[in-house]
Amino acid sequence: MKAPGIELYSAPLCPFAHRTRLTLAEKGLVARVIDVDLRNKPTEFAALTPTGEVPVLKVGDDCVWDCAVIDEFLEQVTPEPPLLPAEPVHRARARAWIRFADRRLYADTKRLLVAADPDARGAAMAAVRENLRFMQHHAFAAVDAGPYWMGERITLVDLTFVPWFEQSPMLEGLLGFTWPSGSERLRGWYDYVARRPAVEAESRPAEFYLHEYGKLMRNRAAH
């Protein structure tokens, strides 16, 4: 289904914008995607959001920002197919996992990417690995077994974590990241989810991330 009047301001490397593109794809919604150069933001983009960050969803004359908020907005206005569990306790757990991803996994990964010295890089790397150990221990345990994070159906939790796993080869190739032991189920979950048509349609190969992040790191080192 094409949703007229919907625009998504995105950026190729932004995992948060990637999450919203995944949500749109799983909902069967088609929006006009506008890539923003975050180092040289156009004037019209700056007027849309107080954060200056992507994603931003523009629906007619209205704007919604912050990917977690956008994704729940899309869940409310397009309830089928559902991307949150129906049971209140499971829905609460889904939101807790999304908050964990934002406040821990993605935040620590950002620290790793921008770390300027070996000590800071080592501390961020250790934090990322500890987050993955927590995920290994607690994921999939709170609900009935199934191929997805919350059980038998895909949810926003899966879509929240997919971009991190898609970009993980870049962490391995450029920063020497290694997976903690016992992560086979996490990686098996990602291999399963990555085969969904909507996820495949929004994916980029590892070579893309290696090239683009490598270029950013070289530019940063030169300055």
Count of other CB atoms within 10 angstroms of residue 95: 15
Q: What integer pLDDT is reported at residue 2 of this predicted model? A: 45
Residues 93 and 68 in one domain: no
Domain that holds residue 163: 88-222
CB 98 within 8 A of CB 157: yes
- Let me know if residue 82 belongs to a domain: no
Residues 120 and 145 in one domain: yes
Looking at residue 160, its amino acid is T
CB 76 within 8 A of CB 64: no
Residues 22 and 55 in one domain: yes
Q: What integer pLDDT is reported at residue 135 of this predicted model? A: 96
Residues 10 and 107 in one domain: no
- Looking only at the bridges linking them, the beta strands covering 56-59 and 2-10 are antiparallel
> Domain boundary residue among 17, 52, 77?
77
Q: Is the peptide bond before 55 cis (omega within 30 degrees of 0)?
A: yes
pLDDT tens digits for 28-83? 999 999 999 988 888 888 889 989 999 999 998 899 999 999 999 999 999 999 99
Residues 18 and 106 in one domain: no
pLDDT tens digits for 134-176? 999 998 755 557 899 999 999 999 999 999 999 999 999 999 9
- Let me know if residue 43 belongs to a domain: yes
- Structural domains counted in the chain: 2
Structure tokens at 90: 């499971």
Task: Give the CATH number, domain containing residue 180.
Answer: 1.20.1050.10
In whole angstroms, what is the distance from residue 113 CA to residue 213 CA?
9
Task: Give the CATH number, domain containing residue 26.
Answer: 3.40.30.10
Residues 71 and 117 in one domain: no
Q: What integer pLDDT is reported at residue 205 of this predicted model? A: 97
- Let me know if residue 83 belongs to a domain: no
Mean pLDDT over each residue of the chain, to the nearest integer: 93
